[in-house]
């Protein structure tokens, strides 16, 4: 950059500032003399400011010694800055924003904007009081000057916090995306996952679920977070390919039913398409299991377009299993087929016969040579044991698929035979019927 005289373009240089000491006292000689007398009292002003801060503000007293030390440096910077601003004898005008540059950026996290305003107000009050100790001719001029300067500092504080909020927002979004990505990928470094989430304000030990929905609209993530806040939910959200993956936690996420209800309220913030909710888990380190189920369900949901828009991942077990989801296959075998296979009372045979005879109680009774009321009793027990009713079409589909998968997996039946060697007894009784 080419050098130029410090006085070149001085009018345009100073036009960017709403006021400086020069605009209040045009005479360089008079202004510098007053600035010199003012500078002689800066140490006294700083000491008085810290004493006043301690007396006025409990939050200041509660800070650590290091944090109070940084605030004293900021206060001293502000007072020294007033002297420089009033003297206005530098090539470039003093910027009140420099007041806050002496402290680390992390202070904007520890000291709120409201507390910073307390600091500025208290400092200005002390300076105004100390001005009264200067010669009478200085007092009115400096009192006017401090009013102008305090306005500049207030704007500077707002600018510093706005810039910090923007930077923090960008960083938080990046960190939030890393947390969600680690959950989706089932990152094994649990300590790092919890540490990153804690930085975002996540509470350890919170029950949570993972929601997956379509992403086609801008501002979806911010709308989802704001809607979650209104419901008292903590929301970590990020975009994965063409889907939104959100981790939900809060008092409204107590169990799977409550989580599904909460997701139904948030669904309006997402684009058109199925929204799938994974099972509720007890902590963030277990979130990958919920994410796997929700992502699998979101991919398989197109096979059940007749279903509701907001679904639990468990509602899509058949579609997930047919698409190759091992967790869904294992769940159907272990939680549906195995209890029926190991139960007494021919529940598995009755289930298969009932499904094969068009869900007819009378047809099943004739095929198994039992009374229809016995069939009804067994069907009620099937629902109690498996959680699914053979009489409901969708649940009958789940049972039918579970039976098929259980037989393919070779799970032993209650009679002690396996479907590998007697495809079996469960199958043979069905065919005999």
Domain containing residue 291: CATH number: 3.30.70.2730
Q: Which residue has the tokens 């960008």?
A: 170
pLDDT, one tens digit per residue, over 288-305 is 999 999 999 999 999 999
Is the Cβ–Cβ distance between 208 and 284 less than 8 Å? Answer: yes
In a domain, 174, yes or no: no
Q: Is pLDDT at 106 greater than 80 in this prediction?
A: no
What CATH number should be reported for the domain holding residue 100? 1.10.490
12-16, 141-145, 369-373: segment of lowest average pLDDT: 12-16
Residues 185-212: what's their mean pLDDT?
Answer: 82
Chain CA centroid to CA 358, Å: 48
Looking at the structure, tell me whether residues 310 and 340 fall in a common domain. no
187-191, 283-287, 330-334: which range is least confident on average?
187-191
* pLDDT interval class at 425 (50, 70, 90): very low
Asked, for residue 172, whether it belongs to a domain, the answer is: no
Same domain, 313 and 340: no
**Residue 242 DSSP symbol:** T
Mean pLDDT of 133-161: 85
Confirm whether 181 is domain-assigned. no
Answer for the pair 278, 210: CB distance below 8 angstroms, yes or no.
yes
Question: How far apart are alpha carbons 261 and 96 in whole angstroms?
Answer: 51
The total number of structural domains in the chain stands at 3
Q: What is the DSSP letter of 332?
A: I
Q: Record the pTM.
A: 0.60
Could you list the residue range(s) of the whole structural domain that residue 246 is in? 191-318
DSSP letter for 312, please.
Answer: E
Taking Cα atoms as reference points, which of 324, 319, 309 lies closest to residue 276?
A: 309
Kindly give the residue spans of alpha helices, DSSP state H, lying in 26-135. Answer: 28-39, 42-56, 58-61, 65-87, 107-110, 113-131
My answer on whether 29 and 72 are in the same domain is: yes
**Whether residue 97 sits in one domain with residue 198:** no
Residues 62 and 127 in one domain: yes
DSSP string, 158-213: HHHHHHHHHHHHHHHHHHHHHHHHHHHTT-S-HHHHHHHHHHTTPPTT--EEEEEE
């Amino acid at each position: 950059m080419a050098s130029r005289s410090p006085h070149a373009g001085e009018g345009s240089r100073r036009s960017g500032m709403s006021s400086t000491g020069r605009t209040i006292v045009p005479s360089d000689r008079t202004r510098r003399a007053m600035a010199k007398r003012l500078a002689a009292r800066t140490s006294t002003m700083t000491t008085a400011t810290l004493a006043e801060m301690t007396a006025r503000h409990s939050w200041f007293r509660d800070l650590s010694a290091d944090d109070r030390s940084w605030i004293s440096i900021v206060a001293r910077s502000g007072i020294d800055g007033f002297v420089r601003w009033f003297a206005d004898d530098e090539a470039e005008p003093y910027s009140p924003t420099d007041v806050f540059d002496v402290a680390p950026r992390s202070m904007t996290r520890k000291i709120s904007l409201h507390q910073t305003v307390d600091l500025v107000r208290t400092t200005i009050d002390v300076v105004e009081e100390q001005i009264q100790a200067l010669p009478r001719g200085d007092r009115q001029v400096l009192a006017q000057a401090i009013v102008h300067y305090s306005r500049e500092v207030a704007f500077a504080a707002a600018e510093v916090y706005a810039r910090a909020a923007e930077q923090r927002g960008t960083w938080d979004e990046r960190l939030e995306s890393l947390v969600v990505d680690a959950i989706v990928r089932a990152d094994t470094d649990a300590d790092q996952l919890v540490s990153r989430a804690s930085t975002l304000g996540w509470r350890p030990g919170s029950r949570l679920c993972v929601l997956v929905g379509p992403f086609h609209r801008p501002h979806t993530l911010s709308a989802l977070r704001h809607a979650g806040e209104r419901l008292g939910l903590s929301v970590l959200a990020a975009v994965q390919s063409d889907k939104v993956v959100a981790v939900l936690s809060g008092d409204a996420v107590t169990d799977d039913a409550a989580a599904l209800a909460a997701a139904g309220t948030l669904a309006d913030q997402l684009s058109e398409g199925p929204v799938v909710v994974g099972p509720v888990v007890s902590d963030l380190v277990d979130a990958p299991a919920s994410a796997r189920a929700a992502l699998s369900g979101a991919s398989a949901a197109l096979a059940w377009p007749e279903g509701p828009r907001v679904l639990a991942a468990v509602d899509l077990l058949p579609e997930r299993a047919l698409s190759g989801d091992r967790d869904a296959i294992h769940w159907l075998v272990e939680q549906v087929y195995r209890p029926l296979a190991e139960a007494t009372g021919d529940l598995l045979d009755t289930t298969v016969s009932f499904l094969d005879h068009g869900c007819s109680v009378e047809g099943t009774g004739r095929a198994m040579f039992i009374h229809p009321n016995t069939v009804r009793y067994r069907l009620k027990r099937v629902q109690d044991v498996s959680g699914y009713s053979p009489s409901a079409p969708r649940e009958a589909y789940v049972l039918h698929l579970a039976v098929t998968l259980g037989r393919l997996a070779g799970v032993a039946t209650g009679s002690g035979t396996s479907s590998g060697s007697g495809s079996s007894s469960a199958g043979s009784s069905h065919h005999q019927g």
